[in-house]
Amino acid sequence: MATTADPGTSGRTRARLAARTLRTDRWWLPPLVTTLGLATFVIYAGVRSFMRTGYWDSEHHYLTPFYSPCLSDSCVPGSAHFGTPIGELPGFIPLAFLSLPFLLGFRLTCYYYRKAYYRSIWLSPPACAVTEPHSRYTGETRLPLIVQNAHRYFFYAAFVITVINTYDAIVAFDGEQGFGIGLGNVILLVNVALLWCYTLSCHSCRHVVGGRLKHFSRNPVRYWIWTQVSKLNTRHMQFAWITLGTLVLTDLYVWLVSTDVIADLRFVN
């Protein structure tokens, strides 16, 4: 029970302090690291998506996820696993223009990334007990943040794209000389396994498989799936960061191998 008029806890406004914060620790470090991490990925992915080189290794049939699915006549021969229903694309349109907006939307509206960039980039608030620069709070009730509520639909799209990435990883075992296994296959497989971990650990996925049920006991299969997804869900933040790293590593490896900068390490030819 509040017995004194403490403006910091029981008043209608915040405590009026001249200093922005009284914290003396390095509270700014986590937001800074988050910003640098996200910016590094966005710049790398942005540049690579427009390069149109080094995305397909014709010898080992490695396709980078940044160019999947490749559906236009502009794709190099062999890289279009699902045909080329789209004609030539001008250079300013990424070859994976159909999947990239959905993947971007999936990550941008992700509950974990929201927390990360609301704190680090939007500074709302940057840390506990640190004043935010914004005078008003409107939540996610109007544009542009109301789009966050579409996360479930981005999840559906991301699920389909992860299936496509899985297909890319599997057909890569059938290279120019037939069946073979190289380091590139291992990297593609690990990347896609981690993408599944990230996708299936999504909060929307957890709701899709186990939400709106009144009695788990009457739906044992969905209860089991929900239990497994819930276990993954506790690691969602880790998967969010790890997959940014594996996406870059996978793309980089395909880029270097396909441009003959390095040779693929072969285990089975």
Residue 155 in the binding site for ligand FES (CB under 6 A): yes
Site membership for ligand FES, residue 204 (CB under 6 A): yes
Q: Nearer to ligand FES by C-beta: 79 or 204?
A: 204
- Strand positions, DSSP E, the chain: 56-57, 62-63, 174-175, 178-179, 181-182, 266-268
Q: Residue 221: enclosing H or E segment and its boundaries?
A: helix 220-233
DSSP alpha helix (H) spans, 87-150:
100-108, 111-120
Q: Which stretch binds ligand FES (CB under 6 A): 27-35, 63-71, 110-118, 247-255?
A: 110-118
| CA-atom Rg of the chain in angstroms | 23
- Find out whether 134 and 124 touch, Cβ atoms under 8 Å: yes
* Span of 39-47, 71-79, 92-100, 200-208 interacting with ligand FES by CB under 6 A: 200-208
**Residue 206 engages ligand FES in binding (rule: CB under 6 A):** no
- The answer to whether 111 contacts ligand FES (rule: CB under 6 A) is yes
User: Least distance (Å) from ligand FES to the CB of residue 247?
Assistant: 14
Q: How many residues bind ligand FES (CB under 6 A)?
A: 10
247: its two tokens: 């996406």
State which of positions 124-153 bind ligand FES (CB under 6 A).
Answer: 151
Is residue 54 left, alpha or beta, with left meaning phi > 0 and alpha meaning psi from -120 to 50?
A: left
Binding span for ligand FES by CB under 6 A among 62-70, 109-117, 135-143, 216-224: 109-117
Applying CB under 6 A, which of residues 185, 236, 253, 257 lies at the interface with ligand FES?
236
Stretch of residues binding ligand FES (CB under 6 A), selected from 5-13, 123-131, 201-209, 211-219: 201-209
- Whole-angstrom distance, CA of residue 251 vs CA of residue 230: 30
Residue owning tokens 């996820």: 65
Q: Six-digit token pair at 72? A: 């236009």
Q: Token pair for residue 42?
A: 């966005």
Q: According to the binding rule CB under 6 A, does residue 196 interact with ligand FES?
A: no
